[in-house]
Amino acid sequence: MRRKVMFIAPYQGLANIVNNMELPNELDVEVKVGNLDEGAKIAAEAEKGGFDFIISRGGTATKIENTVSIPVIHIDITGYDILRIFTMITGIDTKVALVGFPNISEGAATICSILEYDVTLVTIESQEEVEETLHDLKTEGYSMVIGDVVTVTHAQKVGMRGILLTSGKEAVLDSFEMGIRMSNLLKSNRAKYLTTQKLFESFPLPTVVLNGDEEIIFQNNAYTNELVQTGITAEREFYDFLKNINENQENIFYDKNNSLSLIAKGFPLESSEKIQGIIIEVVKNQFNVETIKREEVIENPHLIGNSECVRKLKEIITRYSESEGVISLIGENGTGKNTVAKAIHYRKFGAGIPFYVVDGQDLTDGISDEVRSHVSRVARGSIMINNVVSLSTEKQKEILRLINHGVQVFLTYNLSKVTNGEGNPVVGNIGGMVSARSIHLPPLRERPEDIKYFMNYYLSELNAKKGLEILGVKEDALAYLEDFFWSGNITQLKQVIDEISSSIQGHYIELKDVEILNIYSSLKDNDEINLKIGNLRDIEKQVIQKVMEREKGNQSKTAKILGINRSTLWRKLND
């Protein structure tokens, strides 16, 4: 394959050398004369004309290099070139200086030292220094200067004799050979690049490349066809998922709309620039993807309260986050088991590392192949298995065997209040595999001094969310809340605050606003209320219905137990 070469000579003599040379047959060479800006203009036209590379010298080559994107070969000043000039000035009875860039002055210094030539060497870093340097030399009594085209031109303007440091035939020939080698290398690299690009584009699994700013800079056809065109990549959650994938780590993203599991693994490309590739396996879900959920932990979960049990809990969290092993979280519903698990997870792994939740109740009929696959793929992060008491000891052992070393496992045990034969409340048997590292979370009724902290925290959230202006809770209202038996614990308190805040007219929650909770005192220990269904009024209706069931539908007795008249009872049931 022949190559088109543009040779741009800063002076005519160099062009003449090329025109009289026998050049390699594989080159089609066009020679033009142009110094600095004129040479750069010629180079720009050559690039448009499809030339493979350009050869030039000195400052002109540097200007060309900053103008075009095709390769530019510099003609070096060789020791022969410098020696040739020094030989020409031998015997001249005048002060001589050589002005040039470091690549010239350093080579000349070696020759001067060896052959003891009396030539002053002046090193410059830019063409702008030439004129001032020549004025200084003339003032010091120098009348002859050796240099490139720019130096010689300026020397003549200030009344000095300028001798052009020319390139010989050997240097020119070396530049053509260098051009051929570079051209062959570029051709080989381009072929490899096209092959790699084709391989990347046709790779059967969706693959993307992210730069150091976490921006997608490349994506293959499978990624476009399977993820972009199906709308998956439009989800903000998916982009956040990609950004949080670390080197050699597998993460799972669940696309509920298309019933897909996307299993992604990161691999480094250029560690110095933090460029990372991500390969994604798309799996069609055959089972209920809700069995395993990924929850984001992007900040340190806030443990609310200042009671002694909260202070001890913080100490335990710090200690457990620095050690290995399964952690059991034991407590009633709504006591904050999820928050504690995420607090340990954050301290152990930091933000963005996967936190998966598995519901043990979904595994009672067996552990599906999908669950096995997904659990075993998690290489780093945490897996929290809720409702462990729903699983037999054997099933618990089975799923724990699937989890990789280095993954933090949390087992949650929900305690419920039941009654013995005498009607006294006792704690139900949690059973299962309670680990040596256990955290018992107290119910809210055992830490009433923390309620004011919960109130302030949730009210600040609600003010921001709903545009409210509630400043706090009156003392008698707070005392009432602290004395209340919170069967649903923190979850129930949060729901009550949310409902009460919507109906408050002033800036403070008052006693009359919370007295609706009186109705809860009518419940017995074995009455179960679903706190996750409806609002506070709906929960109130559940309580009334529970009391009516117990009193076999007798409205008079029900109203008396609830402390309201029959008309009020009828209204509350029919609202």
Cβ count within 10 A of residue 140: 10
The pLDDT assigned to 7 comes to: 95
- Are domains 3-76+170-188 and 446-574 of this chain identical in fold? no
3 state SS of 158:
coil
CB 241 within 8 A of CB 253: yes
Q: How many CB atoms within 10 Å of residue 481?
A: 24
pLDDT for residue 425: 39
- SS3 label, residue 92: coil
DSSP for 18-59? Answer: HHTS---TTEEEEEEE--THHHHHHHHHHHHTT-SEEEEEHH
CA distances from 277 to 274, 447, 518 (A): 10, 49, 59
How many other β-carbons are positioned within 10 Å of the β-carbon of residue 186? 15
Residue 498's nearest CA partner among 487, 506, 509, 507 is 509
In a 3-state reduction of DSSP, which class is residue 3?
A: strand
Please give the sequence-ordered ranges of beta strands (E in DSSP) within 424-464, or none if there are none.
Answer: 425-427, 437-440
DSSP H or E run through 556:
helix 555-562
| The pair of three-digit structure tokens given for residue 206, joined into one six-digit string | 């969706």
Per-residue pLDDT, 453: 93
Domain-by-domain residue ranges, the chain?
3-76+170-188, 79-166, 208-285, 292-442, 446-574
Distances (CA, A) of 163 to 97, 167, 398: 10, 13, 89
- Compute CA 388 distance to the chain's CA centroid, rounded to the nearest angstrom: 34
Phi, then psi, of 29 in degrees rounded to 5: -105, 130
Give CA–CA dist 206/405, Å, rounded.
28
The half-sphere exposure of 222 on its side-chain side, counting CA atoms within 13 A, is 16
Longest dimension (CA), the chain: 133
* Other residues' Cβ atoms within 10 Å of the Cβ of residue 361: 14
Query: What DSSP character marks residue 246?
Result: P
Q: Which stretches does DSSP call E strand in 475-562?
A: 508-509
- The pLDDT score that the predictor gives to residue 419 is 36
Would you state the pLDDT for residue 418? 34
- Per-residue pLDDT at 290: 60
Domain covering 79-166 in this structure, CATH number: 3.40.50.10660
Encoded tokens for 78: 């060789």
Architecture of domain 3-76+170-188: 3-Layer(aba) Sandwich (3.40)
| End-to-end Cα distance, the chain | 90
DSSP state of 116: T
The per-residue b/e assignment along 371-382, b for 16 or more CB within 10 angstroms, e otherwise, is beebbebbbbbb
Residue 286 main-chain phi, psi, to 5 deg = -100, -10
| pLDDT of res. 421 | 39
Helix axes 337-349, 308-321, angle to 10 degrees: 40
Q: Residue 61 class from Cβ within 10 Å (0-12 exposed, 13-18 middle, 19+ buried)?
A: buried
Place of tokens 């470091």: 102
CATH no. for 292-442: 3.40.50.300
> From 3.40.1410.10, 1.20.1530.20, 1.10.8.60, 1.10.540.10, which CATH number describes the 446-574 domain?
1.10.8.60
Q: Three-class SS of residue 128?
A: helix
Angle at 508 between CA 506 and CA 510, to 5 degrees: 100
The C-alpha atoms of residue 257 and residue 269 are separated, in whole angstroms, by 32
> Residue 270 has what pLDDT?
66
In the chain, which residues have pLDDT < 70?
247-250, 270-273, 285-290, 370, 416-436, 516, 518-539, 561-564, 575
pLDDT at position 450: 95
d(C-alpha 453, C-alpha 446), whole Å: 15
| Strand duo 27-33 + 3-9: pairing | parallel
How many residues are listed for the chain in this entry? 575
Residue pair 283/428 in contact by the 8 Å Cβ criterion: no
